[in-house]
Structure 1
């Protein structure tokens, strides 16, 4: 058990906006947070939780448990209640929002070891937003359901099948209406991924992912993406490289797909696969000496049939968008 206190002083007075979503935002030139946290283990159960307060009035509560129900079955339960007027600059509580406020929810996760090589992972997350948020000007609800079956080769690779369905409510203004109402949306995602180490120097990874987006009073839209990764490293360990070739076709922005990308040292990110095109990148790492290493990356998006990419100051003439990174590290 412990207590945490934090005081943040700003050099200017921060004012909140006048929009409907800014009514509960932080306003002032300093913020104090205090929290009480703890954990306890009893037999096969691990209990934990934290209660936090921003001293201008709001509070947040997170409590959960991890329980081994059977040698092959384990569970996690997590409850959260973040008030609309809870403010924190550094908190990163579990949830849909990135600011740990204006959210209530209950999460249940289950993993079952079907066999020595077969693992089944599932979770359900039910949540609500008591106040206005992005794309929803009034109280809204949602849910996130996930299930994945994984087959593993010991120290060799893995084959996984995944299904996910995200349900949310968003603003909708019909003809003749002066105020926003809410409509239900659903984004179902399907994924097959294969990862295998062919030898001590070669590894491959393949993925096929598709999604179906549904929204009331709107036609359904579909998107998919497939990629092939190849990893190689020299037997001496001086060279390492990897390459990805991906093709994607997303009918709308709601069908966009994100996928993690390899990068130079200390850099990482998720590529966004939207509209229709190709994504390719190549990474190379080389150890020049015991104390000197270099990393390089070349990446490009290619959109067939397009005359420009982006808008405004970010607009690029042509149908290719590329980037080059070079990083050198000298260890003393």
Structure 2
């Protein structure tokens, strides 16, 4: 009775706050999520895969009445003290009967609640209603998406080929400039998921050609996954990913690194098997996997036999027979020219692996182990370079690891140690803590040997892969009240061996500081500064010098951002950002200014932006996140001088059918040719349109 009265009071107390907001329950403020998680965008970060994994979290919300600390950490929103408060509240009061009840949990403010609402649900029973086929046929989370986009200026690859002196024609793209994408999915959180994804990139042929294994769309991905079938926690066939431990062995999934969120993002969560639904043509398993719960122990076995794009070369063996070997793997997924088509599915990659995961009855302790065996259809031998002599070579690799996670009051400790077939080792150890309700701290140390080989690793690192790196990270977050927030991190790292474009051992550091002021839900103001200090080769030589001569490059980034809600329907966003790059006794600079306007009228939405940019060189390119059609990610790198603008509209015809249309253009004032090679455009502008429809079944 006491709990019911409290809930009635909370409902009336919060109704004036919750009702009248432009926020719609079940939707993600993706712009703020990107701002918090990514901080400063980078070229070596695969944002499409990250974005796809945000979708996975959104479509598989966490049941707050049947969750664990590990699962709550996986959404990178709640601090250690908030997670502890949540479970202490459940222990004292029992299961939640309303999401409004979150407001009565200590350390849960409205801002936090708004952030987690799209990722959580309440389901007291957890029982499945009806047979599986009926649940599939009647699922409300069933949809079909079809998308078309293209660049309207003619790239060189689509022009008539030239004739060379030997009479041969120059290479050109074999398909049309349209990008076609389709996705079908039926799923219900923690019950089942099935679907497929189709994709054709610009320049690829829409053709039925069994000889080159092309059947209409260039890429086809599919999956069928069942959850919680008795003691079987997950069973999947088709395309999937795995994320366990700290990502040294199985690291596919939603894992970010350094950004505006400086505490929660350093840790990886063990979420196990996940369906793969992206259009990227690498980084996933194809086969079957299953997880079985045996008391406190969960056992996961997986097997995969996936085709990969690769360049096969021939050589004579000791008996003067031709022998094929892999000289490089291709990860672009593009098959536009005869050469690219020749790379298609030339390599077979077989994987077999296992994960053992123990969780104590109190859910405070987790211990696990990972093993993954990989075999290629031919030996892998890279073109020898001075910096890559410790990279993987051969036909087989195996990697094994042990990991742990331990919660003690407001302290979360975690770590993983791994060793690959080469004997190279990888280690990650860290800690997160709420030192005070207003102050949080994170620490992480990592060490990856120069011959540590992990094909599916995605551990926290400065580089794009966990190899040849040492580092220590410190993160702080101070929130004195609901209006102000200060985030800071400092990361010191070194590379004991040579790297691409860095032909000597090197070291560096990076730090970021962000101050946020939000006096109300309709106003958000933040200022951010970042410094990165890292070495690389000097490529321009005034006189003869050693090609291994390095210089330390120092880059500064500045961002000033204002989001303001004019009224429940209209909002604006203003941003000023700039950078400077100091390298080889030379200083270059760049900046961008953007103005957004957004409108939301329930059935109809509109967004627009005008951005001006001016950069001295490629090192000062400016990254600006843009709104796009549903589940399409866009962070263009603005380089040179000019302006960019876009218009985006969405119309919801009825609960089942929605349409999107987008027009964007970049107009340069410092060039008459854009791009190089077959991507070259004669002119000073590039224009893109996107059209998308979504049909939701059973709505």
TM-score normalised by structure 1 residue count? 0.95
* Structure 1 residues 229-268: aligned runs within 5 Å: 229-234=596-601, 237-268=602-633
Q: Are 1:17 and 1:23, in contact at CA under 8 Å, matched by a contact in 2?
A: no
- State the Cα distance separating 1:229 from its structure 2 match: 1.3
Q: Secondary structure at the match of 2:571?
A: strand
User: Could you tell me which of 477, 480, 495 is aligned with 1:114?
Assistant: 480
Q: Larger strand proportion, structure 1 or 2? A: 1
Q: Distance in 2 between matches of 1:100 and 1:170?
A: 19
CA contact (8 A) 1:281 1:297 kept: yes
Q: Retained in 2: the 8 A contact 1:202–1:233?
A: yes
SS at match of 1:313: helix
1:300-319 → structure 2 map (5 Å cutoff): 300-319=665-684
Among 215, 224, 241, the residue aligned to 2:591: 224
Question: Could you list the per-position Cα deviations for residues 171-221 of structure 1 after superposition, in whole angstroms to 9, with x for gaps in the alignment?
Answer: 12652323321111111111100012222211211110011111133x211
Q: Name which of 140, 146, 160 aligns with 2:512.
A: 146
Cα deviation digits, residues 247-292 of structure 1 (max 9, x gap):
0000111111112121122210311111101111111122222222
- Stretch deviating more after TM superposition (4-13 or 190-199): 4-13
Aligned equivalents of 1:297, 1:81: Cα separation in 2:
44
Instruction: Determine the C-alpha separation between the residues in 1 that align with 2:394 and 2:597.
Output: 52
Superposed CA RMSD? 1.5
Relative distance call for 1:157 and 1:90 in structure 2 (3 A) is farther
Q: CA deviation at 1:153?
A: 2.7
Which region of structure 1 is more displaced relative to structure 2, 109-118 or 136-145? 109-118
**Structure 2 partner of 1:189:** 557
d(CA) in 1 for partners of 2:374 and 2:563?
Answer: 45
Residue 83 (structure 1) shift: 1.0
- 1:178 pairs with 546, 559, 563, which one? 546
State the alpha-carbon separation in 2 of the partners of residues 163 and 107 from structure 1: 17
Secondary structure in structure 2 of the residue aligned to 1:149: strand
* Paired position in structure 1 for 2:423: 57
**Structure 2, gaps ≥5 residues long:** 1-366
- Corresponding residue SS for 1:270: coil
Match of 2:685 among 320, 325, 330: 320
User: In terms of Rg, which structure is larger?
Assistant: 2
Matched, 1:200 2:565: no
Using structure 2 for the length normalisation, give the TM-score. Answer: 0.46
- Asked if residue 40 in structure 1 is aligned to residue 400 in structure 2, the reply is no
Residue 6 (structure 1) aligns with: 372
The match for 1:210 is: 578
**2:422 match: secondary structure:** coil
Aligned-pair CA distance for 1:22: 1.7
Post-superposition offset of 1:317: 1.2
2:387 aligns to what SS in structure 1? helix
Q: Which range moved further: 116-125 or 302-311?
A: 302-311
Q: Note if contact 2:509-2:534 (Cα within 8 Å) is conserved in structure 1.
A: yes
Higher helix share: 2
Say if 2:537 and 2:547, in contact at 8 Å, map to a contact too: no
* Structure 1 portions without partners, runs of 5+: none
Is the CA contact (8 Å cut-off) linking 2:511 and 2:530 kept in structure 1?
yes
Report the equivalent of 2:660.
295
**Alpha-carbon distance between aligned partners in 2 of 1:284 and 1:190, rounded to the nearest angstrom:** 30
CA contact 1:249–1:277 (8 Å) conserved in 2: yes
Query: Higher RCO, 1 or 2 (CA under 8 Å, sep at least 6)?
Result: 2
Deviation at 1:305, TM superposition (A): 4.9
Distance 1:82-1:305 versus aligned 2 partners, 3 A rule: closer
Contact 2:663 2:690 in 1 (8 A): yes
Structure-2 change in CA distance of 1:205 and 1:131 (3 Å) = same
Deviation readout 1:140-162 (Å, 9 max, x if unpaired) = 11100111111013322310011
Which of 435, 440, 448 in structure 2 is aligned with 1:74? 440
Q: How does 1:73-92 map to 2 (within 5 A)?
A: 73-92=439-458
Distance 1:56 1:299 in 2: 48
The equivalent of 1:129 in structure 2 is: 495
What is the CA–CA distance in structure 2 between the aligned matches of 1:102 and 1:310, rounded to whole Å? 33
- How many residue pairs end up in the alignment? 329
For the 8 Å contact 1:141–1:169, the answer to whether it is kept is yes
Asked if 2 retains the 8 angstrom alpha-carbon contact of 1:183 and 1:215, the reply is yes
Contact 1:222 1:251 in 2 (8 A): yes
Contact kept? 2:642, 2:670, Cα under 8 Å: no
Task: Check conservation: 1:231, 1:242, Cα contact below 8 A.
Answer: yes
